Amino acid sequence: MKITVKAVADAPKKTDLLALSLYEGQTRLTSIAASIDKKLGGNISTVIKSKDFTGKKNQTVVLYTHGELWADRVLLVGLGKKEDFSLEAVRLASGKAAFIARELGVRSYATILHAEDSKENPLLVAEAAVEGTELALYSYSKYRTDKERIPKQISEMDILVPRASDVKTVQKAVDRSTLICDAVKLARNLANGPSNEVTPTVMADTARKIAQKRSLKCTIYDKEECMKMGMGGFLAVASGSQQPPKFIILEYWGAGKSKLPIVLVGKSITFDSGGISIKPAEKMDEMKYDKSGGSAVIASMQAIAELKLPVNVIAITAAIENLPGGAAYKPGDILSHYGGKTSEVLNTDAEGRLTLADVLAYSMKYKPRAIIDLATLTGACVVALGANISGLFTNNQHLADKVIESSKRCGEEVWQLPLSKEYYDQIRSEIADIKNTGGKAGGAITAAAFLGNFVGDTPWVHLDIAGTAWTQDGTAEKTYIPRGATGVGVRLIIELLRNLS
């Protein structure tokens, strides 16, 4: 969709719909809304007075303008209470408007930027409006052949701002936000992709394609090279599958080679059957989403390069499948990771940590100033925090605080769980350095502790996105998060990098 910023005075000559968001209980209309109301003979005021529309979050009413306005319809969208106004409220209301517009079959519509009477920065409000709109209209329909049942996409939206002097800067914000949304959609596409399409090779090819068009360096290591490097964890997990493993590195040097980079690590299990410790059949299909972390970091690199962020960032993800088979790794096996640490396999379904161990250990060679990893790592994290908040674990509170701050701004929620010495003790092994499970107790934390063994003193944040990477039981309704993969992590990473740079 093409999004153009215009001054209200230059409103389009003709459009299918104008979306107007109003606070809950708002009785006095502000400047633009008031003048539209007047043109419509007080129609909006009447609807408000009648209480048919109260401005509650997600509430909508469509009014017809009978040629009295340049828009054929006016859509009122509830923003919720004024005192609760936030960028998240803008995302939700913009998503709702986009949804209704698409349902009505409109080709183009306009919306008025709701920043006039709020204390939020109008540029951030514009970004939030784009996010809400673009992300709500996403759908994964490439495999559906009943195209006539799939809603038609909207081709154009105008964002109207009160002052003509703001048009340029707001348009810039809109364009930035569009690039970020493109990355979120790419992450969703990769994660939504079934495992028979999005194989480790396709993950690698996607990374390569992203790099070709932009100032990114892409390196892919195959099985033989990884063997030579001693990546015994990642290769053991890969051994039950016919799909060749791919160790994927994307590098972006936006701040000159003298500055230390931030390393982003993602879990890319293109399908997690559990391996020999096989999972129950119920919901096993959801394990195509076990590549969500890697999808998010690959997609983030696209946005980072497009936005030309003044930072150095390396993304690393080891893409493999976890399947049982004659050559599969087994419970009781002892693995030797990159760098030499050993681990005892107690459960082949705790494969993510084994894979990430090699990646984290490898990332040390960049002397990173920070490492952020994203992984659909444990069901235990979903038990602890549910399906709306990612678990955050760290060895560095300063870095964690930055991530938490960024998370509040972008609306991708996180909650910190402890990571103290006892959890490291819980996974000590008698016959190797560490074991890959510490039992049920504190399962999300012992998984984090396993990873913590491979980052040394480097500031590190681990995000367990098992609950948030796709919509599942307990996922709250959000207009801009349609069913399936959410693309979680992309907006958080970009927000964090903006804060750190």
Quick one: CA dihedral 379, 385, 386, 387, positive or negative? negative
Closest residue to Zn ion, based on beta-carbon distance = 272
The one segment of 54-62, 73-81, 345-353, 450-458 that binds ligand BES by CB under 6 A: 345-353
Applying the rule CB under 6 A, the residues between 288 and 307 that interact with ligand BES are 290
d(CA 434, CA 437): 9
SS3 4: strand
* 291 noted as active-site residue: no
Contact 37, 44 (CB under 8 A): yes
x/- string (CB under 5 A) for Zn ion, residues 338-377?
A: --------------x-------------------------
380 binds, among ligand BES, Mn ion, Zn ion, none (CB under 5 to 8 A by kind): ligand BES
Contact 403, 499 (CB under 8 A): no
- Within its chain, how far is the Cα of 452 from the centroid? 23
x/- string (CB under 5 A) for Mn ion, residues 264-303?
A: --------x-------------------------------
d(CA 487, CA 490): 6
End-to-end CA distance of the chain: 30
3-state secondary structure 127-165: HHHHHHHHHHCCCCCCCCCCHHHCCCCCCEEEEEECCHH
Q: How far is the CB of 475 from ligand BES (least distance, A)?
A: 12
Q: How far is the CB of 349 from Mn ion (least distance, A)?
A: 4
Among 131, 134, 290, 358, binds Zn ion (CB under 5 A): 290
Applying the rule CB under 6 A, the residues between 376 and 395 that interact with ligand BES are 376-380, 382
d(CA 243, CA 198): 11
DSSP 203: H
SS3 185: helix
Rounded to 5°, the CA angle 244-246-248 comes to 170
Look at the block and give the residue holding tokens 């080891």. 318
* Active-site annotation holder among 288, 353, 402, 478: 353
378 binds, among ligand BES, Mn ion, Zn ion, none (CB under 5 to 8 A by kind): ligand BES
309 binds, among ligand BES, Mn ion, Zn ion, none (CB under 5 to 8 A by kind): none
Closest-CA residue to 252 (of 296, 310, 202, 299): 310
Among 351, 373, 412, 495, binds ligand BES (CB under 6 A): 351
Q: How far is the CB of 347 from ligand BES (least distance, A)?
A: 4
Applying the rule CB under 5 A, the residues between 443 and 482 that interact with Zn ion are none
Where helices occur in 324-373 by DSSP H, the ranges are: 351-363
- Within its chain, how far is the Cα of 89 from the centroid? 18
Among 237, 466, 494, 497, binds ligand BES (CB under 6 A): 466
Look at the block and give the residue holding tokens 């709702």. 96
Q: What is the CA radius of gyration of the chain?
A: 24
Among 266, 352, 482, 489, binds ligand BES (CB under 6 A): 352
DSSP 340: S
x/- string (CB under 6 A) for ligand BES, residues 95-134?
A: ----------------------------------------
Query: CB-wise, 290 or 373, nearer to ligand BES?
Result: 290
Question: Residue 453 contacts by C-beta under 8 Å, 6 or more apart in sequence?
Answer: 341, 357, 424, 433, 434
* 142 noted as active-site residue: no
Applying the rule CB under 5 A, the residues between 356 and 375 that interact with Mn ion are none
Q: How far is the CB of 487 from ligand BES (least distance, A)?
A: 16
272 binds Zn ion (CB under 5 A): yes
Among 195, 206, 300, 437, binds ligand BES (CB under 6 A): 437
x/- string (CB under 5 A) for Zn ion, residues 377-416?
A: ----------------------------------------
Closest-CA residue to 156 (of 70, 98, 90, 72): 98
Closest-CA residue to 462 (of 352, 335, 375): 375
- Within its chain, how far is the Cα of 439 from the centroid? 30
Query: CB-wise, 11 or 447, nearer to ligand BES?
Result: 447
Catalytic residue annotation = 279, 353
Residues forming contacts to ligand BES in the complex (CB under 6 A) are 272, 290, 347, 349-352, 376-380, 382, 437, 443, 466
Residues forming contacts to Mn ion in the complex (CB under 5 A) are 272, 349, 351
Residues forming contacts to Zn ion in the complex (CB under 5 A) are 269, 272, 290, 352
